[in-house]
Structure 1
Amino acid sequence: MPVAHETLLEIDLTALAHNYHYLRSKVESNVKFMGVVKASGYGSDVVGIARKLKELGADYVAVAYISEGIALREAGIELPIMVFHPQSANYESLVEYCLEPSLYSDFVLKEFISTAEKLNQKNFPVHLKFNTGMNRLGLSEEEVEMVTGRLNATNSVKAASVFSHLSASEDWREREFTLQQIHTFQRIAIRLFDQLKYEPLLHICNTSGIINYPEAAFDMVRSGIGLYGYGNEKSEDEKLKPVATLKTIISQIHHIKKGDSVGYNRAFTAEKPTKTATLPIGYADGIKREYGNGTIGVFIGGKYAPIIGNVCMDMIMTDVTDIDCKEGDEVIVFGGPQRATDFAEAGNTISYELITGISQRVKRVLIEH
């Protein structure tokens, strides 16, 4: 892999392919696969990820908002794109760019049908989201007749899929609740199929659902975090390969005397002569203040260097007293010897928040090997 000469996020498409094939192997070959690329491809490079997923054989990609889908279309992505959380103010743009909305309430269902009819659409594909226990977005089981009544009364839209979202598929202590969600979803699907007179695709499994409940794969599965190398538990992490590696360099080395302080608020005071390395990355890049003052460290020349003092907006300082290093040397923040999961847990958060929070001012570099 190339050596970094600046702060960058290295995105390994070979690792993405490994993760895709691993997750694909968990379900039957006839089950469709939706790759979730919202939040800039979980903080990576959404266009590069989407192109690779198409090459790998993914059937769909999914984003959170209409603007994300438009950006993919303008970059030439031709795969079907599902929008999880569309807003009615942008429905005309959604239709223009051939994006497929999740319709999760009576309000959005009525609004989208109205827009589709106004634009003279026929059988425009939509996805019906039902709430089976997440209690975030979704139609209720009691609304099945309302939904089918509205769909049967128009030819402007047609349900491409019916789906729900598992709340705790990674947690075996919640297995009974997860199975209850799956059974509720099956019950909803049977009623929908009977009243619609056709059978949309069914999907409920997220990454942990694919791994822990492959029997609930139905017609399609959705994977987000798993594609990027994280399986929500350490045993699965070992079978996946992190796609993103955050790298930077040493800007300057200081030799600090005993009693001297480092950084804002003098948060670190040397108890002995100390060698420090200043790195050009900080909380404006996504490395939050929670990671300072020895909470976690980085790797320089394969050796661990704890972050000392407060994290600054554009810089962090590390203790490299026992590391043979020089200005310009490469630094691994996460990826390689330290997974984003480990880094995030030190800051009392999760890998999702860490990787999606890497600022867009950090250069993205795609690699494949």
Structure 2
Amino acid sequence: MDAALIWAEIDLEAIAANIRALKALTAEGTRFMAVVKADAYGHGAVAVARQALAAGADWLAVARVEEGIALRQAGIQAPILVFGYTPPASAADLLAHDLAATVYDYDTAQAYSRVAVATDRNLRLHLKVDTGMGRLGMRPEVHHFSATGKAVSGNPVFVADAIAHLPGIVLEGVYTHFAAADHADRSFTLDQLERFTDFLDHLYYAGIEIPLRHAANSAATIALPDSHLDMVRCGIAIYGLYPSAAVGPGQVALTPAMAFKCRVVQVKAVEAGFPVSYGMTHVTEASTVIATVAAGYADGLSRRLSNSGEMLVRGRRVPIVGRVCMDLTMLDTGAVPDAQVGDEVVIFGRQGDETICVDDVAAKLGTINYEVVTGVGARVPRVYRSNPPGTQA
């Protein structure tokens, strides 16, 4: 029996192939940003970042400064953009590790500038514009307010210009994020794109030159070529998962990069009327076999799959019975009489001729594929099927 009781198997070649397929949708010269935030959506940020760059990615993106620092400490030298808010207190970290920051108000940019000047370095910024997401970003069409609520200027173009002229600041990018690019109805996304390009036009006419304009996420990269601009940003799609049922399938061929697996740790024959797991929410209706597997909610197997989910054992679907526990889960393997301790069990992925897709699991949970893969726990080892560039599996 293999010593590993649970693991996430990551196919790095699938990630490379997905990036190549996505890049093929863009015009020559369009840069490609691989989004590796949240530990590369659960796939392992360092290994994925290396593979993405080897496959042709030009930029990497993370959500928080600590994620960017971890990549730098692993020896990754490619440009990295921090999507989220970085407080001015962390500006020294941005500078020390050559990370580009997102900014959307003058006050923060000015605070960054002070730190940059004090350290005699330049800090690269990307101005984020809220064209309809309602999350982070400077609104392009209304009065701009500082973090204290004080009006800085009635024209956001003036704010962009003021940021661009701060000492120690290099405004190298401007971007927005689409709220509904994964919808079949693209009208709102087109409205957002129009708002963004209008803002870009105003910057141009004001003589403000910003080298990198970007808007397209995975869905827009696949379905909306007009949004590609200078760079596309792909997250979920590089991991072989489609943004939605409406965008992706039939438009580009992607290969899922993660399989989630565990092992059978006990098999027991039980009689009818046998209660299983906490709360006795499952009682066997006939004699059967219960297999206990080494996966639980602490590993990222949602408790909502209790008495409803399935796994693969010896190439056959078997039901989860009883409540999912913290470290263990029970399956009814009565239909798989040869199941035994040590057998590989697939939580999602392929085994034989059967597949449980991440989207199947997400549908049962009433959520999205993003949440399923990012939810695979930190204590679950990531095992790479092909060597990440510069490392050993």
Q: Same fold (TM over 0.5)?
A: yes
Q: Which residue is equivalent to 1:338?
A: 356
- Secondary structure class of the residue paired with 1:94: helix
Contact 1:250 1:329 in 2 (8 A): yes
The separation in 1 between residues aligned to 2:291 and 2:207, in whole angstroms, is 65
Return 5+ residue gaps in structure 1 as ranges: none
Q: Deviations over 1:106-133 (max 9, x none)?
A: 33222222222222224x3211100000
The answer as to 2:16 corresponding to 1:17 is yes
The separation in 2 between residues aligned to 1:263 and 1:243, in whole angstroms, is 32
Q: Which residue is equivalent to 2:45?
A: 46
Contact 1:39 1:356 in 2 (8 A): yes
Q: Which residue is equivalent to 2:171?
A: 159
Q: Which residue is equivalent to 1:116?
A: 116
The amino acid that maps onto 1:291 is: L
Shift of 1:181: 0.2
The amino acid that maps onto 2:374 is: T
Contact 1:5 1:328 in 2 (8 A): no
The amino acid that maps onto 1:229 is: G
Shift of 1:341: 1.2
Q: How many residues in Structure 1 have an aligned counterpart in Structure 2?
A: 364
Q: Which residue is equivalent to 1:132?
A: 131
Shift of 1:152: 4.4
Q: Which residue is equivalent to 2:194?
A: 183
Bigger helix fraction: 1
Shift of 1:5: 4.3
Q: Which residue is equivalent to 2:274?
A: 260
The separation in 1 between residues aligned to 2:290 and 2:372, in whole angstroms, is 25
Shift of 1:87: 2.6
- Secondary structure class of the residue paired with 1:49: helix
Q: Deviations over 1:297-324 (max 9, x none)?
A: 0111110011110000001101110113
The separation in 2 between residues aligned to 1:116 and 1:103, in whole angstroms, is 15
The amino acid that maps onto 2:342 is: G
Contact 1:285 1:314 in 2 (8 A): yes
TM-score normalised by the chain length of structure 1: 0.95
Return 5+ residue gaps in structure 2 as ranges: 145-155, 388-393
- Higher alpha-carbon deviation: 279-288 or 3-12: 3-12
- Secondary structure class of the residue paired with 1:250: strand
Q: Which residue is equivalent to 2:309?
A: 296
Aligned partner (choices 333, 337, 342) of residue 328 of structure 1: 342
The answer as to 2:358 corresponding to 1:347 is no
- Higher alpha-carbon deviation: 128-137 or 141-150: 141-150
The answer as to 2:103 corresponding to 1:67 is no
Distance 1:204 1:152, change over 3 A: closer
The amino acid that maps onto 2:324 is: V
Contact 2:109 2:163 in 1 (8 A): no
Paired residues for 1:199-278 under 5 Å = 199-234=210-245, 236-237=248-249, 239-278=253-292
Cα RMSD after superposing both structures: 1.6
The amino acid that maps onto 2:219 is: S
- Secondary structure class of the residue paired with 2:125: strand
Shift of 1:237: 4.8
The separation in 1 between residues aligned to 2:345 and 2:376, in whole angstroms, is 16
- Higher alpha-carbon deviation: 235-244 or 315-324: 235-244
Aligned partner (choices 192, 202, 213) of residue 203 of structure 2: 192
Contact 2:261 2:345 in 1 (8 A): yes
Aligned partner (choices 358, 361, 364) of residue 376 of structure 2: 358
The separation in 1 between residues aligned to 2:212 and 2:66, in whole angstroms, is 25
The separation in 1 between residues aligned to 2:160 and 2:4, in whole angstroms, is 58
Q: Which residue is equivalent to 1:56?
A: 55
The amino acid that maps onto 2:178 is: L
Counting aligned pairs with the same residue, the percent is 34
Contact 1:230 1:237 in 2 (8 A): no
Q: Which residue is equivalent to 2:105?
A: 105
